[in-house]
Amino acid sequence: MSQINIKQLDAQSPEFDQQLKELLHTDLVVDHQVTTIVDDIIHRIKSEGDQALIALTGKLDRWTPDSVEALEITKQSQQEALARISTAEREALEKAAERVKSYHQHQLQDSWQYTEADGTVLGQKVTPLDRVGVYVPGGKASYPSSVLMNVMPAKVAGVEEVIMVVPTPDGDINDLVLAAAAISGVDRVFAIGGAQAVAALAYGTDLVPKVDKIVGPGNVFVASAKRAVFGQVAIDMIAGPSEILVICDGQTDPDWIAMDLFSQAEHDEMAQAILVSPDQAFLDAVKASIEKLLPTLSREKIVKISMESRGALIKCSDLDQAMDIANVIAAEHLELSVENPEQWLPKIRHAGAIFMGRYAAEALGDYCAGPNHVLPTSGTARFSSPLGVYDFQKRSSIIHCSADGASELGKVASVLARGEDLEAHARSAEYRIKK
Amino acid sequence: MSQINIKQLDAQSPEFDQQLKELLHTDLVVDHQVTTIVDDIIHRIKSEGDQALIALTGKLDRWTPDSVEALEITKQSQQEALARISTAEREALEKAAERVKSYHQHQLQDSWQYTEADGTVLGQKVTPLDRVGVYVPGGKASYPSSVLMNVMPAKVAGVEEVIMVVPTPDGDINDLVLAAAAISGVDRVFAIGGAQAVAALAYGTDLVPKVDKIVGPGNVFVASAKRAVFGQVAIDMIAGPSEILVICDGQTDPDWIAMDLFSQAEHDEMAQAILVSPDQAFLDAVKASIEKLLPTLSREKIVKISMESRGALIKCSDLDQAMDIANVIAAEHLELSVENPEQWLPKIRHAGAIFMGRYAAEALGDYCAGPNHVLPTSGTARFSSPLGVYDFQKRSSIIHCSADGASELGKVASVLARGEDLEAHARSAEYRIKK
């Protein structure tokens, strides 16, 4: 048993809106010292290329490769790592990869076109990006599941070349991460990290090929470098702390709900775990489960800080109000741990991933349900989507005017272009009008 | 006749790759003075709200509204503007709006789901953004076509509320812009502009509602403000100078091609117009057309500077090589002014919009062909798409595990979570494994 001082809010209180706002608030401060260091690293990679990569790896990752080529982790090394992990681990990775692939294939978009009565053809051509870089953190936060979730959608999209970068601090290689790279079909892997790896991917060096988009999580230096190269290449979202919002009708085992909340809270001290229920007795039961289970966790300390500083148990009037709260929070992960969750789904407008029913634990989605675990955080589900195949495809408009079609369109364009004082536009259109 | 000093390159020359690289180079310098001014304006809007809007409008747009409410342009004013424009203009706007709407309806994405053998349901729920802001520049660059192109995809996506902001310098209102707002179904219009309008949309004031995404072109202050609020809200791409690449087999009227090049060059002095052809006699003929037509243009001065500083006539060996060059340039607008353009389409990997055949002038696409005229510039077509309905929809993953499904997934998740030292994840999954 452990006493926990977790916020308990009542959604019917007049102060609730303000309390919720404060609960959700995160201060995203840009650290100018970080920006300066990162700008300097990017400049070094642009001007010195691979030599800077070697020097920075020596300084920041504390190992120095014998040659530039030694910065690359060969296919053979990946296969050796795959051979070293346990059979259970290998089978779990393969099963997860297969399910992630299968789900993401549903996201593939095709080119389309249609022909108008006068023979004009309009359409949209969909093509994959040529080359993508995937950043994988080293050390403690090095997750093989992230390799799968970032690489598989690119491969399903048809990206020809996926380049992975992963720092190997002190020369230590994570076998599970390399095994995941082999299983998910990464084309090349480099043992580099930090802002220097991001810069190498964005600008290219003799060794590292320049990519079109960089995805994957990283520390503050990696995030800052991604921001700096944004525009030069595309980047994925810059993730905030992980969040879970559980809505429960009071009929799920309180131990399950407590552990579901912990599964986000254990990520880091800034993670956010919130439970909303109309059943006060159930909220009390979950609080008791939290206090009972907390001391049994290996990450007890992180979970306690996270639950006490950013967690909350919210009493709502009914499930309708719970859905309204869910739309305000726009959570990264939303569990609808209720009877007949389909009934409530139409009311949910904003959420990264929606886990329906008592069995769909958020952790299943993190690893192997199939959908991506890279999800919009900090309320950005209001306007962002999970990482998907669509992030690795882009579209070109197709306009094929028939002579008749161009003649009719030319008349409209001429009027509008002259209204905008763009004479050459107008005359270019007018050339196509039939005399 | 006017002499023009336009670059003439030979794609078979050993220097060509380097010459092309220099031709495409643009220096995107961040002006720290602009950043400082913009940061200050954003801070003022956040702290003083509507009072800052009034003060900044008085100072920067040189007119002061009688009241906060006078910053809103009513539906009635929009209808009055619609009544003031000519019938030809009104009909052209309506025709363009109808075609843009019709094309964009093809981009609508639907939710989907599938059920696995054990009853587990996976899917993706697609929902529109709640509220979107469209920035429309005032003064010279105030284009009614931009209103249509930015508003219609949002409306087709199902966005409930589209808020338009347009500065009215010296109190001058552009009737065509307001008419386009009325036709495209904008919900509210505010007569504000600059960084203050972007900040008002991003953070909300008593008058201006906070939006989820801001789209639309603007000057350097607007672009800088959009960058600053990125993350707080979503933004569209920050556009560079306009570009056109024409590939011609030598069989199109050289006057047509010259005018198509001008139609981009007239936008501004940094715009880029490039012609590629395997036919040297044709390149010479287009140069002669350029020299003949240039003096007849109302924007002669801008076009001349743009063509001489950033334009080029490129001789290639054959059309295959022309397609390779197109993929390096990844142009915003690509005209395939050739016989049987379909034959070449599969070779094009990167372009914002592809205009097929001799009749599909780029200007038709700017106004009324149907596809969007907001397109990726500066080579970003390598990883970006035209503005579309997909920019105003977002996705949520759906995971509904059956008891059997969760039991099987729980086993996989448990192995992987323990491999990542995330014990609470593992235990949350393990609760769902059948005993």
Q: What pLDDT does residue A244 have?
A: 98
On whether any CB of chain A is under 8 Å from the CB of B359, the answer is: yes
Q: What pLDDT does residue A14 have?
A: 97
Pairing relation of β-strands B112-115 and A213-215? unpaired
ipTM exceeding 0.90, yes/no: yes
A271 and A159, same structural domain? no
| DSSP string of B245-295, one letter each residue | EEEE-S-S-HHHHHHHHHHHHTT-TT-EEEEEES-HHHHHHHHHHHHHHGG
Q: What pLDDT does residue A43 have?
A: 96
A67 and A216, same structural domain? yes
In a domain? residue A435 = no
Pairing relation of β-strands A333-337 and A353-356? parallel
- Asked whether the beta carbons of A157 and A127 are under 8 A apart, the reply is no
In a domain? residue B346 = yes
User: Three-state SS for B217?
Assistant: coil
The closest alpha carbon to B425, from B414, B409, B434, belongs to B414
**CB proximity under 8 Å: B 14-73 to A:** 28
Q: What pLDDT does residue B139 have?
A: 74
- Asked whether the beta carbons of A148 and A100 are under 8 A apart, the reply is yes
A410 and A366, same structural domain? no
In a domain? residue A322 = yes
The closest alpha carbon to A131, from A152, A158, A106, A153, belongs to A158
In a domain? residue A66 = yes
A223 and A254, same structural domain? no
Q: What pLDDT does residue A332 have?
A: 97
Q: What pLDDT does residue B142 have?
A: 79
Pairing relation of β-strands A121-128 and A393-400? antiparallel
A205 and A324, same structural domain? no
The closest alpha carbon to B352, from A398, A110, A409, belongs to A398
- DSSP assignment letter at A112: E
Residues of chain A short of pLDDT 70, as ranges, are 28-30, 140-141
The residue type found at B114 is Y
In a domain? residue A61 = yes
Task: Indicate the pTM of the whole model.
Answer: 0.96
Residues pairing with A274 in the sheet = A245, A312
Mutate to test the interface with B, among A30, A268, A416 (most CBs of B within 10 A): A416
Which residue spans within A136-203 are E strands per DSSP? 161-165, 188-190
Yes or no, beta carbons of B368 and A212 under 8 Å apart? no
Cα gap B148→A366, rounded to integer Å: 41
Catalytic residue among A332, A350, A362, A373: A332
| The domain boundary residue, chosen from B235, B265, B291 | B235
The closest alpha carbon to A389, from A367, A372, A373, belongs to A372
B157 and B302, same structural domain? no
The closest alpha carbon to A262, from A292, A237, A221, belongs to A292
Distance from CA of A65 to the nearest CA of B (A): 27
Q: Across chain A, which distance is largest between two alpha carbons, in Å?
A: 89
Pairing relation of β-strands A188-190 and A213-215? unpaired
Yes or no, beta carbons of A127 and B349 under 8 Å apart? yes
Q: What pLDDT does residue B173 have?
A: 87
Is B140 exposed, middle or buried, given 0-12, 13-18 or 19+ CB atoms closer than 10 A?
A: exposed
Expressed as residue numbers, the domain containing B143 is: 49-107+128-235
Domain total for chain B? 3
Q: What pLDDT does residue A238 have?
A: 79
- CA angle (A318, A323, A325) in 5-degree steps: 95
B277 and B208, same structural domain? no
User: How high does pLDDT run on average in chain A?
Assistant: 96
Q: What pLDDT does residue A28 have?
A: 64
On whether any CB of chain A is under 8 Å from the CB of B391, the answer is: no
In a domain? residue B36 = no
B172 and B78, same structural domain? yes
Cα gap A287→B108, rounded to integer Å: 44
A62 and A157, same structural domain? yes
User: Three-state SS for A133?
Assistant: strand
| Residue A333: both structure tokens together | 């992960």
Cα gap A357→A334, rounded to integer Å: 11
B197 and B283, same structural domain? no
In a domain? residue B123 = no
A136 and A158, same structural domain? yes
| The domain boundary residue, chosen from A235, A269, A300 | A235
B266 and B147, same structural domain? no
Cα gap A296→A312, rounded to integer Å: 21
The closest alpha carbon to A275, from A341, A345, A336, belongs to A336
CATH number at residue A310: 3.40.50.1980
Catalytic residue among A104, A266, A333, A362: A333
In a domain? residue A112 = no
| The domain boundary residue, chosen from B191, B212, B235 | B235
Residues of chain B short of pLDDT 70, as ranges, are 28-30, 140-141
- Asked whether the beta carbons of A287 and A4 are under 8 A apart, the reply is yes
| Residue B76: both structure tokens together | 């009635």
